[in-house]
Structure 1
Amino acid sequence: MFSGLVRGDAQIAQLDKKDQTIKLIVKCAPDFLQNVKIGDSIAINGTCLTVESFTTDSFQVTMMPQTFKKTIFKDSNVGDQLNVERSLEVGQRLEGHIVTGHIDDLATVTQKKINENAIEIWLEFPPRLQKQIVAQGSIAINGVSLTVMDTEKNQFSVGLIPHTQDETNLSKLKIGSEVNIETDILGKYVSKNLEKSN
Structure 2
Amino acid sequence: MFSGIVESVMPIISSKELHNAYRIEIKKPSEFNDIKLGDSIACDGVCLTVEAFDEVTMTFALAAETIQVLQWNPQTWLGKKVNLERSLRFGDRIHGHLVTGHVDSLGKVTRAELLGESFFLDVKVAETVLPFVWKKGSVTLNGVSLTVNALEGDIVSVCLIPETLKRTNLGDLKPGSMINVEPDYMARAIQRSLEVRKD
TM surpasses 0.5 = yes
Residue 114 of structure 1, CA deviation? 2.2
Q: Tell me if structure 2 keeps the 8 A contact 1:109–1:175.
A: yes
Equivalent residue for 1:113? 113
Unaligned runs of 5+ in 2: none
Q: What do residues 111-152 of structure 1 show as CA deviations (whole Å, max 9, x unaligned)? A: 122232111111111112211011100111110111011001
| Inter-partner Cα distance in structure 2 for 1:177 and 1:78 | 16
Corresponding residue number in structure 1 for 2:42: 43
Identity level (%): 35
Q: Please list every run of 5 or more consecutive structure 1 residues that lacks an aligned counterpart in the other structure.
A: none
* Matched positions, count: 197
Q: Which residue of 2 aligns with 1:57?
A: 56
Contact 1:72 1:180 in 2 (8 A): no
Judge conservation of contact 1:122–1:157 (CA < 8 Å) in 2.
yes
Alpha-carbon separation, structure 2, partners of 1:13 and 1:110: 28
2:148 maps to 148
Q: Give the 5 Å matches for 1:78-89.
A: 78-89=78-89
For the residues of structure 1 that align with 2:103 and 2:141, how far apart are their CA atoms?
9
The match for 1:9 is 9
Aligned to 1:25: 25
Residue pair 1:11, 1:26 contacting (<8 A) in 2 also: yes
SS at match of 1:30: coil
Distance 2:171 2:194 in 1: 36
Q: TM-score, normalised by structure 1?
A: 0.93
What is the DSSP-based 3-state SS (H/G/I as helix, E as strand, rest coil) of the residue aligned with 2:65?
A: helix
- RMSD (CA atoms): 1.5
C-alpha distance in 2 between matches for 1:115 and 1:151: 20
* Residues 72 and 178 in structure 1, CA contact (< 8 A), matched pair in contact too: no
